[in-house]
């Protein structure tokens, strides 16, 4: 190992430790922090962001990168140098004061958003949102872009993605999703979803969540499960400390059960990263689109499959109480796969979910370009919901204020959700080709075989490849809408009597 590379690793690990501290502060704010702690908490968040920015943009970092070659024959060294260079080039363009102000405003913004959403008062949130939009526009201008300011922000979450390319994919997704949603709405078989809206005491939901997490392979010696308003997963510096959250509704169990499987999917990815590379790019996830592919795969493509519940439905009936007594597995499977236009993204079904993301992508694209201003957001949101999803929000709490992301300044994040669906379907199709009896194994209670395939083909690579390169490496093909649409039609048409 060269002296320059050894020094670079030391710096990358220090940056990684600050990333871990930032994640810990985020977890604390959503799970443990008392309300009056927000002011000091925001200053801590801003301090960590500032120190990380200083490290990432230091003259010594620049000097080290000048001495190193990211075309190294060793893939680990090449990955670490390439990613350090990419992040250095982005970060060095942004003033430290701007980074601190974004972090400080976002930390306070989350609490302001939560209170405004609870009160259904967009006017309470709009000044903060307006400030964050201004700051993110400044950040995009500082970073620079070839065609659209949104490119600069999206690159933080999905390296290499562009507004133009994502728009092409989403246009094709929209073209195929809309007629499928209409066909299912008019189908002869409509699931009885009333069985989901019964009494499901929280203790039983908690037991089932814990058991399902363990069944999927989540290591509780390297993780924990907590409760929060908006479920999430975070890693405190690698796979040795992965924290997932969910939420409980005693009259409607899907948010807890499937929200848990979604976050555990994220957690399995974090726990599958190679520990020897912790705090360096080779020990970090490839992109948020790939990260989302893991959560959507386990939540929906496995967790809502009939095969998965074949050996677990009796346990669900036992733990969730009398409300599922007499409900057949077929009826349960149909109910948890009900398709219907809905207001809330996190509760949307697999088929309409992509339309919720397309809406957010188009809104953010217009916000960053200046085409859409903060005062016009509620009206524009409602119009797009009516056009794309077919429902109109009755208020802003169920409309433009339903998601936490904008209050965090996370513009450019939303597209990764729909890209994740596409990657997930492509990964699952490849796994089935490699393991012909995979569905039978899942029906017999074995999910470890699929997890092992993902560990070999996705998790262990860290940031060695960009997302589409990883997709080609794992599946042999570039990202396509086709596997996802084939998955949807194969699954949903029989349920709805259209097969």
Model pTM score: 0.93
Residues 5, 2: Cα–Cα separation, whole Å: 5
The structure tokens 């933080």 sit at 156
Q: At 245, phi and psi to the nearest 5? A: -135, 160
Active site residue ranges = 263
How far is C-alpha 278 from the chain's CA centre?
Answer: 21
3-state secondary structure (DSSP) of residue 243: strand
* Radius of gyration from C-alpha coordinates of the chain: 22
CATH 1.20.1250 fits 3-144, yes or no: no
Q: Where are the beta strands (DSSP E) in 118-181?
A: none
- pLDDT computed for residue 1 by the predictor: 62
Q: How many residues does the chain have?
A: 499
Q: At 235, phi and psi to the nearest 5? A: -115, 130
Tokens at residue 230, please?
């908006």
Q: What is the DSSP letter of 389?
A: I
Tokens at residue 316, please?
């669900």
Contact call for residues 52 and 18 (beta carbons, < 8 A) = yes
Q: Where in the chain is the domain with CATH 1.20.58?
A: 3-144
Identify which of 12, 462, 459, 16 has the alpha carbon closest to the alpha carbon of residue 237. Answer: 16
Cβ atoms within 10 Å, residue 147: 9
Residues 423, 347: Cα–Cα separation, whole Å: 21
Contact call for residues 243 and 237 (beta carbons, < 8 A) = no
Q: What is the DSSP letter of 200?
A: -
The CATH number of 164-495, from 3.40.50.150, 1.10.1370.30, 2.40.30.10, 1.20.1090.10, is: 1.10.1370.30
Distances (CA, A) of 313 to 201, 324, 330: 17, 10, 10
Residues 181, 303: Cα–Cα separation, whole Å: 21
Mean pLDDT, 10 residues at a time, the chain of 499 residues:
91 96 94 93 92 94 91 88 95 92 92 95 97 97 95 95 96 95 93 96 97 97 93 92 96 94 98 96 97 97 98 96 94 97 91 97 96 97 95 97 95 96 98 98 98 98 96 97 98 94
Identify which of 101, 106, 127, 132 has the alpha carbon closest to the alpha carbon of residue 116. Answer: 127
Contact call for residues 453 and 431 (beta carbons, < 8 A) = yes
3-state secondary structure (DSSP) of residue 242: strand
Q: Where in the chain is the domain with CATH 1.10.1370.30?
A: 164-495
- pLDDT computed for residue 229 by the predictor: 82
Identify which of 393, 336, 386, 339 has the alpha carbon closest to the alpha carbon of residue 359. Answer: 386
- Burial category of 33 from C-beta neighbours within 10 Å (exposed 0-12, middle 13-18, buried 19 and up): middle
Taken in order 160, 161, 164, 165, the sign of the CA dihedral is positive
94: Cβ–Cβ under 8 A, 6 or more apart, which residues? 53, 139, 142, 143
Q: What angle do CA 255, 460, 486 make, to 5 degrees?
A: 55
Residues 353, 339: Cα–Cα separation, whole Å: 10
Taken in order 325, 331, 336, 341, the sign of the CA dihedral is negative
- pLDDT computed for residue 499 by the predictor: 79
Residues 387, 171: Cα–Cα separation, whole Å: 14
DSSP secondary structure, 427-473, as one string: HHHHHHHHSTTHHHHHHTT--HHHHHHHHHHTGGGTTSS-HHHHHHH
Residues 495, 195: Cα–Cα separation, whole Å: 16
The residues pairing with 226 across neighbouring beta strands, listed in sequence order, are: 245
DSSP secondary structure, 475-486, as one string: HSS---SHHHHH
The structure tokens 């149909």 sit at 334
Tokens at residue 305, please?
């499959």
């Amino acid at each position: 190992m060269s002296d320059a590379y050894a020094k670079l690793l030391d710096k990358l690990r220090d940056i990684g430790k600050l990333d871990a501290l930032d994640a810990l502060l985020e977890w604390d704010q959503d799970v443990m922090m008392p309300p009056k702690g927000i002011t000091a908490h925001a200053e801590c968040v801003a301090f960590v962001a500032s120190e990380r920015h200083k490290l990432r943009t230091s003259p010594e970092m620049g000097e080290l990168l000048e001495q190193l070659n990211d075309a190294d024959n060793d893939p680990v060294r090449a990955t670490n140098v390439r990613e350090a260079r990419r992040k250095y080039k982005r970060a060095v363009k942004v003033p430290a004061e701007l980074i601190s102000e974004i972090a400080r405003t976002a930390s306070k913004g989350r609490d302001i958003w939560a209170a405004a959403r609870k009160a259904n008062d967009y006017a309470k949130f709009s000044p903060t949102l307006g400030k964050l939009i201004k700051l993110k526009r400044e950040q995009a201008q500082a970073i620079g872009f070839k065609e659209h300011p949104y490119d600069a922000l999206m690159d933080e979450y999905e390296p290499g993605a562009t507004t133009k390319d994502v728009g092409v994919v989403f246009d094709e997704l929209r073209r195929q999703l809309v007629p499928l949603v209409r066909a299912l709405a008019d189908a002869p078989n409509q699931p009885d979803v009333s069985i989901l809206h019964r009494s499901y005491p929280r203790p039983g939901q908690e037991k089932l969540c814990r058991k399902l997490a363990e069944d999927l392979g989540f290591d509780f010696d390297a993780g924990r499960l907590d409760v929060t308003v908006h479920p999430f997963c975070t890693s405190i510096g690698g796979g040795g400390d992965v924290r997932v959250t969910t939420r409980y509704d005693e009259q409607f169990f899907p948010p807890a059960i499937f929200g848990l499987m979604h976050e555990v999917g994220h957690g399995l990815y974090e726990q599958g990263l190679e520990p020897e590379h912790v705090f360096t790019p080779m020990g970090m996830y490839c992109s948020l689109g790939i990260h989302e592919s893991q959560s959507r795969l386990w939540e929906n493509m496995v967790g809502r499959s009939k095969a998965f519940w074949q050996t677990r439905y009796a346990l669900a009936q036992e733990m969730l109480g009398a409300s599922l007594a007499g409900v057949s597995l077929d009826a349960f499977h149909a109910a948890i796969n009900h398709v219907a236009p809905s207001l809330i993204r996190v509760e949307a079904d697999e088929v309409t979910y992509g339309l919720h993301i397309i809406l957010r992508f188009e809104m953010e694209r217009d916000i960053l370009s200046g085409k859409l201003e903060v005062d016009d957001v509620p009206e524009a949101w409602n119009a797009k919901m009516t056009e794309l999803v077919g429902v109109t929000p009755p208020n802003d709490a169920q409309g433009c204020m339903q998601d936490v992301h904008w209050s965090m300044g996370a513009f450019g994040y939303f597209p990764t959700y729909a890209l994740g669906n596409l990657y997930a379907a492509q990964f699952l199709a490849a796994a089935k080709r490699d393991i012909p009896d995979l569905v039978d194994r899942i029906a017999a209670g074995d999910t470890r075989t699929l997890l092992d395939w993902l560990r070999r083909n996705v998790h262990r690579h860290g940031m060695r490849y960009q997302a589409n390169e990883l997709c080609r490496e794992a599946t042999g093909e570039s990202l396509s809408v086709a596997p996802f649409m084939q998955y949807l039609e194969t699954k949903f048409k029989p349920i709805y009597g259209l097969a």
